[in-house]
């Protein structure tokens, strides 16, 4: 096992890349050719990982394909958003159907958490922060619309995130 870990570690170290923005890790966002094959080291790593488990990996792949076919059919036939949406005032009284859908999708949109005036204040704070910090990473470079903001950068943001309403939706 130590040999495998050493060789994986050395493979990872040999492929160091210069720092980029978040788009650099998603081909669909970076403009890279999404059909470009991966480097041969990834095939080698894959062989090492699945060695002795080839049949299980193949079977899990077929199960994944079947599950994707079912989910794609559900998404295509849905006349509404596939992501459940709930109002904050109803969060404590969700039906079992809505709870099951949230569990299935793994995500939900909660509307009405903040009063409109507070939401507009947060938006203004973000815009002000970006203006005062022009080094903030964003993409695409020509029309910056996605910004890499990972910290609570203002008092109003911190207050909203730690407010009882904000905590209740976590």
Residues 146, 22 contacting (CB under 8 angstroms): yes
Residue with tokens 């970006």: 130
CA distances, 70 to each of 60, 73, 102, 108, 133 (Å):
15, 5, 17, 20, 46
Q: What is the pLDDT of residues 81-132, one digit of tens each?
A: 889 999 999 988 999 999 999 999 999 999 988 888 888 988 888 888 888 8
Which of 42-46, 53-57, 84-88, 137-141 has the least mean pLDDT?
137-141
Q: In sequence order, what DSSP letters do the residues of 49-105 get, joined into one string?
A: HHTT-HHHHHHHHHHHHHHHHHHHHHHHH-SS-SS-EEEGGGGGG--HHHHHHHHHH
Whole-number CA gyration radius for the chain: 22
**For strand 109-111 and strand 146-147, is the pairing parallel, antiparallel, or unpaired?**
unpaired
| Confidence class for position 137, pLDDT limits 50, 70, 90 | confident
The C-alpha angle 150, 154, 140, rounded to 5 degrees, equals 45
pLDDT at 108: 92
Question: What pTM, to 2 d.p., does this model score?
Answer: 0.59
| Confidence class for position 158, pLDDT limits 50, 70, 90 | low
Q: In sequence order, what DSSP letters do the residues of 95-140 get, joined into one string?
A: -HHHHHHHHHHS--EEESSS-HHHHHHHHHHHHHHHHH-TT--EES
pLDDT at 152: 57
More confident residue, 135 or 54: 54
Instruction: Share the mean pLDDT of the chain.
Output: 81
């Amino acid at each position: 096992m130590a040999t495998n870990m050493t060789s994986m570690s050395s493979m990872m170290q040999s492929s160091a890349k210069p720092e980029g923005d978040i788009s650099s890790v998603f081909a669909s966002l970076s403009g890279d050719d999404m059909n470009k094959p991966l480097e041969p080291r990834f095939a080698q790593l894959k062989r090492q990982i699945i060695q002795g488990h080839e049949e299980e990996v193949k079977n899990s792949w077929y199960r994944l394909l079947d599950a994707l076919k079912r989910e794609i059919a559900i998404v295509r036939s849905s006349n509404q958003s596939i992501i459940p949406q709930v109002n904050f005032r109803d969060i404590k009284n969700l039906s079992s159907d809505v709870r099951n859908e949230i569990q299935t999708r793994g995500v939900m949109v909660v509307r009405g958490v903040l009063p409109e005036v507070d939401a507009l204040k947060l938006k203004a704070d973000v815009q002000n922060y970006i203006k005062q910090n022009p080094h903030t990473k964003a993409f695409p470079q020509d029309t910056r619309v996605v910004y890499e903001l990972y910290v609570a950068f203002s008092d109003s943001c911190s207050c909203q995130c730690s407010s009882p309403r904000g905590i209740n939706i976590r």
